[in-house]
Amino acid sequence: MTKYLFLLLLSFSVFFPGQTYKPLDTTDYAPRKEFIKNYSANNEFLIKDLKTKYSGKAGSELSKIYKELGKDFEKQVKDKDFVFNSVFDAKVKSLIERLRKNNPQIPQNLKILIAKNNTPNAYCFADGTFVINMGLFSWLNNDDQLASVISHELGHKIKGHTLQTFLKLIGEDQMDKLVVQNIKSNKINRNQRAFDVLKNRIYKKGYENRKQEMQADSLGYTVFKNSDFKKTEFINALKRLEDFDTISPKELKLETYKKFFNLPTQEFKDKWLAKEDFSLYNYDHFNEKLNKDSLKSHPEVTMRINNLKKIFPELKTEVADEKASESYSVVEKIARMETLPNFYHSEDYGLGIYTSLQFLQDGEEESYYKSWLGKCFGKIYDARKNYNLNRYLDRVDPKNQSESYQHFLNFMWNLSLDEIKNIADYYQKKS
């Protein structure tokens, strides 16, 4: 969840002259209903086809997997996790058409969905439903980079990686049952032998995932270079996504807390910024027993880039990112303005407050982000009052969070119920 913090590094400002930005309309009952109807029919057809191709245990388990996936995905659509007929749809469809011109292997039945998700990611279902997260639009720099990510996901689709993964999981499940029975039958070194099984399973899974990512890179680039996009942007997109994993989020300054929480109705208190001491905690006991590189579901991007350069020598020459087209700049700005509505929709109210403060610290759209500050604090107040704040606000985790985000979490957990209400009331009245 906290992965989102990447967006806060963007340097350009968003401005919609003469008007306050209004979030995208999600009252799209008719297209959602039509999509669910078609998706359900396609998924049923897919399940029947898999049962024909895979008999016995494999066919039965695949049927269960795809039924469960279908049920979960339909719920997401009903819960308005996606937007329909937006400016994002038109952009993605235009890029896919450009990719399709010289690539007849691209399926014709692709259906586009835009997810209200701030993480820069995309994925494709077996039936041809292609999901693009809004986070990709605000994180990548131009049309070509977005097309490269689409090409990579098409590589997964064409190679049938999802089905391959499910078949391996089904086979490994049967094998694991036999291994567990063997461990139970012999009490000698039972714990160590159980851990060895877990370790080998994780390493094997990591290897298979890395292999699939590199295959999707190679096939994706082949699709990409057959089109009219600039080849070097494929590498630039990978570097941009690497930034998401490696760049530390921008610091939220202490002055920012004092500026926005020293209110006419409630003075700022230094004790709100008190931090818990985690210096004596040891978090490495389990991790030391495993090779962290082998646990990665995606190989290091540097490794993927080097692999592509080895296969395709034309990628060895690095070039600066292309400037965004006007049409891409529009969707990029809209995606950025949708950051807070997306967090609010997913009930990530704590992240919504942290992000609002980051935008306010940068002087962006003050009235807009103050209104979201009030809305999110209102939800935090309700959660604290109902004793379920853990659902909406992370606990401090020094091993996996930046110091700035830990400081923010300490601040939030140090606030009393009445203090939270005062902040919520102040900013909701201001909006």
Instruction: Read off the pLDDT of residues 246-289 as tens digits, 9 standing for 90 and up.
Output: 666 678 999 999 999 999 999 999 999 998 765 544 444 444 44
For residue 300, the number of C-alpha atoms closer than 13 Å in the C-beta half-sphere is: 7
How much is the pLDDT for 151? 96
Range among 176-180, 194-198, 229-233, 364-368 rated most confident: 229-233
How much is the pLDDT for 333? 93
How much is the pLDDT for 6? 40
How much is the pLDDT for 293? 45
**pLDDT band at residue 188 using 50, 70 and 90 as cut-offs:** low
Q: What is the mean pLDDT of residues 232-248?
A: 85
Return the minimum-mean-pLDDT range out of 85-89, 144-148, 349-353, 373-377.
85-89
Write the DSSP assignment of 283-325 as a string of letters: --TTGGGS-HHHH-SS--HHHHHHHHHHH-GGGSS--PPPPPP
Do 328 and 140 meet the contact criterion of CB atoms below 8 Å apart? no
Nearest to 268 by CA among 43, 422, 97, 94: 422
pLDDT beyond 60 at 106 = yes
Mean pLDDT, all residues of the chain: 84
Rounded distance between C-alpha atoms, residue 23 and residue 87, angstroms:
13
Q: Which two tokens stand for residue 430?
A: 């201001």
How much is the pLDDT for 280? 45
Helix 161-185 and helix 143-159, axial crossing angle in degrees, nearest 10: 60
Strand 129-133 with 122-124, pairing:
antiparallel
Q: Which two tokens stand for residue 274?
A: 């008190």
Higher-confidence residue: 378 or 250?
378
Sequence length of the chain is 431
Measured CA to CA in angstroms, residue 184 lies from 190, 193, 199 at distances of 8, 10, 18
**pLDDT band at residue 170 using 50, 70 and 90 as cut-offs:** confident
Q: What is the pTM of this model?
A: 0.83
pLDDT beyond 60 at 213 = yes
Higher-confidence residue: 381 or 366?
381
Q: What is the mean pLDDT of residues 42-62?
A: 91
How much is the pLDDT for 7? 42
Kindly state the percentage of the chain with pLDDT values over 70.
81
Do 52 and 46 meet the contact criterion of CB atoms below 8 Å apart? no
How much is the pLDDT for 8? 40
Cβ count near 308 (within 10 Å): 19
How much is the pLDDT for 290? 42
How much is the pLDDT for 235? 97
Nearest to 402 by CA among 248, 256, 247, 276: 248
**pLDDT band at residue 1 using 50, 70 and 90 as cut-offs:** very low
Measured CA to CA in angstroms, residue 143 lies from 48, 85, 273, 312 at distances of 38, 19, 42, 22
How much is the pLDDT for 128? 83
pLDDT beyond 70 at 168 = yes
**Per-residue exposure over 223-255, b if at least 16 CB sit within 10 Å of its own CB, e if not:** bbbebebbbbbbbbbbebbeebeeeebbebeee
How much is the pLDDT for 206? 53
Q: Is 160 helix (H, G, I), strand (E, B) or coil?
A: coil
Kindly state the percentage of the chain with pLDDT values over 90.
60
How much is the pLDDT for 20? 73
pLDDT beyond 50 at 417 = yes
How much is the pLDDT for 428? 93
How much is the pLDDT for 27? 76
Range among 172-186, 194-208, 284-298 rated most confident: 172-186
Q: Is 347 helix (H, G, I), strand (E, B) or coil?
A: coil
**Per-residue exposure over 370-404, b if at least 16 CB sit within 10 Å of its own CB, e if not:** bbbbbbbbbbbbbbbeeeebeebbbebeeeebbeb
Q: What is the mean pLDDT of residues 342-367?
A: 94
- Report which DSSP code applies to 266: B
How much is the pLDDT for 286? 42
**pLDDT band at residue 189 using 50, 70 and 90 as cut-offs:** low
Rounded distance between C-alpha atoms, residue 140 and residue 324, angstroms:
10
In a 10 Å sphere around its CB, with 0-12 CB exposed, 13-18 middle and 19+ buried, how is residue 84 labelled?
A: buried
Return the minimum-mean-pLDDT range out of 94-103, 108-117, 193-202, 300-309.
193-202
How much is the pLDDT for 199? 45
**pLDDT band at residue 356 using 50, 70 and 90 as cut-offs:** very high
How much is the pLDDT for 146? 97
Do 172 and 67 meet the contact criterion of CB atoms below 8 Å apart? no
- Report which DSSP code applies to 3: G
Q: Is 4 helix (H, G, I), strand (E, B) or coil?
A: helix
